[in-house]
A = this chain, B = another copy of it.
Amino acid sequence: MGRWEPNARGRLEQAAMELYGERGYEQTTVAEIANRAGLTERTFFRHFADKREVLFWGGGALQELLVSSVADAPESTAPIDAVAAAFEGAGARLQERREHSRQRQAIITANAELRERELIKLASFASALADALRRRGVADTAASLAAEVGIAVFRVAFERWIDTGQPDFPQLIRESFDELKVVTGHGRRRDLDR
């Protein structure tokens, strides 16, 4: 008990993802996860509050990345471009674990409670991004719009990334923000830009 287990967290996460995929999230117990990872339940609870946290622990770090990216953008950067750059950075981070993201999305899609939790997470991202923009002096409504719209564009890019197998997620994010400008009636298509 309490002895150091090499990469316990990673092993627990992998075991959990496998079981959620095989049996469904709801049917999987913490005891089974620990067992599959060759660890104890006690070790599980040193790393995760519950079985849901295995799927959501990365959200806090991602939100911080988004917020600090907006805060660090050059002063002349337009709000929507600061948001786009923040998501490109988040996309680069997520891309390091593409297969994990794909599995995670499938698990979440299959469970109503998890879908709801994921929407809450994205709403929290939007709210944090809007606050970061306001701290840059962006007016209230423009800040909310850029943040909420940014989340919407990111969701669409994420789905394309998972569904199409296109490997470059940051590029997909960039293209989707370009496409946003086309959709709102004013952008130029990327292929015409070159």
Contacts and interface: CB of A to CB of B under 8 A. Distances in A.
Copies in the complex: 2
Q: Could you say which of A142, A144, A184 has the most chain B C-beta atoms within 10 Å of its C-beta?
A: A184
A49 to B, nearest CB: 16
Nearest to A118: B119
Contacts of A145: 152-153, 156, 176, 179-180, 183
A185 B78 contact: yes
Contact of A119 (B120, B141, B179): B120
Interface residues of A, number: 35
A8 interface: no
B115 A144 contact: no
Contacts of A126: 152
A38 interface: no
B183 A146 contact: yes
A135 interface: no
A24 B156 CA distance: 36
